[in-house]
A and B are shown apart, each in its own frame.
Chain A
Amino acid sequence: MYNKINENDIKTLCGIVGEGDVLVGAAINPDYSHDELGGIERMPDVLVRATSTEQISEIMKLAYERSIPVTVRGSGTGLVGSAVPVEGGILLETTKMNKIIALDRDTLTVTVQPGVLLMELAAFAEENDLLYPPDPGEKSATIGGNISTNAGGMRAVKYGVTRDYVRSLTVVMPNGEILKLGATVAKNSSGYSLKDLVIGSEGTLAIITEAVLKLIPLPKFSVSLLVPFADMKSAIEAVPKIFTSKVIPTAIEYMSRDTILFSESYLGKKFPDTKNDAYILLTFDGNTEAQVESDMSTVAELCLSIGALDAYIVDTDERKKAVWSARGAFLEAIKASTTEMDECDVVVPVNKIDEFIKFTHSLAKELGVRIPSFGHAGDGNLHIYICRDDLDDEAWENVLNNAFDRMYDTAAKLGGLVSGEHGIGYAKKKYLKSQYGQTPIALMMGIKKVFDEKNILNPGKICF
């Protein structure tokens, strides 16, 4: 079905990007065989580092003509195996396309190349008194990767997700044709939204080579509240009630004492409070101090009235750093606490979060494994980790399959979906198929065929 890369292909690729950016065999670092998901790896036949849209167009013309699979890779921080070249072929790295091209203050947009890191874009926006609201935990991910998975992050409660901030995309089609999808406009009713199809398509429909992103004025004030509860049940039951206060926090995160302790030992730094079993961390932002204080007080009072033990104020840079740096390290900290782990990134309606987390606790007891969790309580997107600890291969596989089947099944029954922000990639295909059923998957496959009839772009992912 696919052709193997041959000497001529390598020569052509060298002609396009230069010899230094075409790597084969042992010259390719083994890290390129996988992303952050464990268990799935395959080395590409050739690694190509592109620096322009035109180069990518030329590479795709070759791949299309020769039927060579192409997998695009940013920083490789994905969690579902999306950037793993499961069919070999060309691994196309975009990290060298890392320029912030232009800031347009009239339209409040920024034009970026796909290899710009989220942390670079966030810092750039802030330097210009602006904010790029999507705030996924992995700050070293590329913007191209964020768009490809429609990444969300902690501020989604108030500001939405990556898709809400993409005005237009320059993409290269599988046959090498360069297209601009969308426009720098605030409204768009002009036919099917091809731009929105490409967002979240995990590199299966077209290759993003440039993006125009919407920014907003940087809110001048922000304050967080760390709200302790006697147990996780009381903490998560409080979350849906917070919305009844009609205050919309920027973020609502929940965390257990265990997770905080993992983070303490991982970072070698104490968290400001570990006396209680469960916490909710909320952030409020706005343009006046009075408004932010008032929002904070409203929610603090509400939390105290429904069983919170206190509400700790996180108001200075130092305090924010002490709390949020621990929150930012949770994933790595849980990873360091076990031998291996796999993650479930389900999203459920916000009023079902407590029910779902309680279910994971009973599941952990039933299966006899640790299932720590933390997550974006405010948007219903949960990060749940099944820890292998000392299980042998067979027991681990059984536990994993059983746990995933039951969790995705329960999430679906509660009106949830398979992935909130990590994507489907390779790892979650079967759960997507099982939840969506025949017709939606057939529609997805149809869309894929229209974009990529040769199935050369990131084959083996999402619905194929």
Chain B
Amino acid sequence: MNILVCVKQVPGSNNVEVDPATGVLKRNGIQSKINPYDLYGIETALCLAEQYGGNVDCITMGPPQAKAVINETIAMGASHGAVLSDRKFAGADVLATAYTLSQGIQKFGEYDLIICGKQTTDGDTAQVGAEISEYLSIPNVSNVLSIDEIKDGHIYVTASLDDKNVKMRVSLPCLISVDADINTPRLPSYKIKKNISDNAVEFFSFNDFDDQDEKHYGLAGSATQVERIFPPEKNDNKYSISGTSDEQATAIFELLRTKKMI
């Protein structure tokens, strides 16, 4: 069973600054890391490969230095990795990103299962996984909480629908996006990291893809334009309520009522 995990390189700290003039994330001098949500996907894949046999590969789209996150997935136990990197891919929104990844995946190998993290810490859209599955014409399940079994060409999963969980049987190949905290991701191994061979990571650019229409990639292929990026406002307002439990409950109720929250 061959599994592919999609990963993304994101800023190493959650306290990123946004350039007020350009609205662009200040990435210079900031360490980067694998999107923490993707680590649950990698762990899921490695556990499945241990249980059912097969390989785990990883893929990312980004600048050449995104190779670092692929190396990290290999240090965690993945076999190979691919970096999709080309100036033509720059400025991609979720749609163009998903399309580029789907083109790259078709070039990189054949997979029974593709796993994505729930979302990224820098984009927070949680759309790329589902869109890749559309472009690859394979089924997709989001918010997967557990993989219960793989049998007879099907994967059995439990997924969250917010107010209820649903158990599903999905035919392979398919794409799943796993929820956060469904496992504890293993740590990268120093021993593997220092022995990663040069050919463990493959680079793909626009010229390698079947679709040679530039308008489908990067800014040109994006259905949306980012007008402004800004960090969420921090609200440090605090109310302190004291008294007995009953008094506190009444005060909270009154507060919510006057603010028309209930």
A interface residues (Cβ-Cβ under 8 A, vs B): 225-226, 269-273, 289, 296-297, 300, 304, 310-319, 322-323
14 A-B pairs with CB atoms under 8 Å apart are A270-B183, A271-B184, A289-B31, A296-B190, A297-B190, A311-B189, A311-B191, A312-B187, A313-B187, A313-B188, A315-B188, A316-B33, A316-B36, A317-B13
Picked from A269, A273, A315, A316, the residue with its CB within 8 Å of the CB of B186 is A273
- The chain B residue with its CB closest to the CB of A270 is B184
Minimum Cβ distance to chain B for residue A179 (Å): 36
List residues of chain A with CB within 8 A of the CB of B185. Answer: 272, 319, 322
| Interface contact tally, CB-CB below 8 A | 52
Nearest 4 CB-CB pairings of A with B: A312-B187, A270-B184, A311-B190, A300-B190
Q: A313 touching B190 by the CB < 8 A rule?
A: yes
List residues of chain A with CB within 8 A of the CB of B39. Answer: 318
Q: A317 touching B191 by the CB < 8 A rule?
A: no
Q: Kindly state whether residue B154 has any CB partner on chain A within 8 Å.
A: no
Q: Kindly state whether residue B193 has any CB partner on chain A within 8 Å.
A: yes
List residues of chain A with CB within 8 A of the CB of B183. Answer: 270
Given contacts A313-B75, A316-B36, A317-B13, contact A269 B187 (CB under 8 A): no
Consensus secondary structure, chain A interface: mixed
- The chain A residue with its CB closest to the CB of B14 is A317
A269 and B182 CA atoms in complex are apart in Å by 10
List residues of chain A with CB within 8 A of the CB of B91. Answer: none
List residues of chain B with CB within 8 A of the CB of A313. Answer: 75, 187-190, 193
Given contacts A316-B12, A318-B39, contact A304 B191 (CB under 8 A): yes
List residues of chain A with CB within 8 A of the CB of B14. Answer: 317
List residues of chain B with CB within 8 A of the CB of A225. Answer: 190
A226 and B33 CA atoms in complex are apart in Å by 19
A312 and B189 CA atoms in complex are apart in Å by 5
A226 and B189 CA atoms in complex are apart in Å by 10
A310 and B36 CA atoms in complex are apart in Å by 23
A226 and B184 CA atoms in complex are apart in Å by 15
Minimum Cβ distance to chain A for residue B228 (Å): 27
Q: B188 touching A269 by the CB < 8 A rule?
A: no
Q: A318 touching B36 by the CB < 8 A rule?
A: yes
A272 and B189 CA atoms in complex are apart in Å by 12
List residues of chain A with CB within 8 A of the CB of B34. Answer: 316
List residues of chain A with CB within 8 A of the CB of B188. Answer: 312-313, 315
Q: B184 touching A269 by the CB < 8 A rule?
A: yes
Interface residues of B in 47-79 (CB under 8 A from A): 75
Contact with A along B29-51 (1 / 0, CB 8 A): 00101101001000000000000
List residues of chain B with CB within 8 A of the CB of A322. Answer: 184-185
Minimum Cβ distance to chain A for residue B122 (Å): 14
List residues of chain B with CB within 8 A of the CB of A300. Answer: 190
A322 and B188 CA atoms in complex are apart in Å by 13
List residues of chain B with CB within 8 A of the CB of A273. Answer: 186-187
Most interface-central of B33, B184, B185, B191 (chain A CB within 10 A)? B184
List residues of chain A with CB within 8 A of the CB of B33. Answer: 315-316
Contact with A along B7-32 (1 / 0, CB 8 A): 00000111000000000000000010
List residues of chain B with CB within 8 A of the CB of A318. Answer: 36, 39
List residues of chain B with CB within 8 A of the CB of A271. Answer: 184
- The chain B residue with its CB closest to the CB of A311 is B190
Minimum Cβ distance to chain B for residue A34 (Å): 26
Minimum Cβ distance to chain A for residue B45 (Å): 16
Minimum Cβ distance to chain A for residue B35 (Å): 10
List residues of chain A with CB within 8 A of the CB of B187. Answer: 226, 272-273, 312-314, 319, 323
Minimum Cβ distance to chain B for residue A73 (Å): 23
List residues of chain A with CB within 8 A of the CB of B186. Answer: 272-273, 312
A273 and B46 CA atoms in complex are apart in Å by 14
Given contacts A272-B184, A316-B12, A317-B13, contact A310 B31 (CB under 8 A): no
A312 and B12 CA atoms in complex are apart in Å by 19
Minimum Cβ distance to chain A for residue B43 (Å): 9
List residues of chain B with CB within 8 A of the CB of A296. Answer: 190
List residues of chain A with CB within 8 A of the CB of B189. Answer: 310-313
A440 and B196 CA atoms in complex are apart in Å by 59
Minimum Cβ distance to chain A for residue B121 (Å): 10
Interface residues of B in 203-217 (CB under 8 A from A): none
List residues of chain B with CB within 8 A of the CB of A312. Answer: 186-190
A226 and B12 CA atoms in complex are apart in Å by 20
Minimum Cβ distance to chain A for residue B191 (Å): 5
Contact with A along B164-199 (1 / 0, CB 8 A): 000000000000000000011111111101100000
A270 and B194 CA atoms in complex are apart in Å by 27
Picked from B12, B184, B190, the residue with its CB within 8 Å of the CB of A310 is B190
A347 and B189 CA atoms in complex are apart in Å by 32
Known: A269-B184, A312-B187, A313-B190. 16 other contacts (CB 8 A): A272-B184, A273-B187, A297-B194, A304-B190, A304-B191, A310-B191, A312-B186, A313-B189, A313-B193, A314-B187, A315-B188, A316-B36, A317-B14, A318-B36, A319-B185, A322-B185
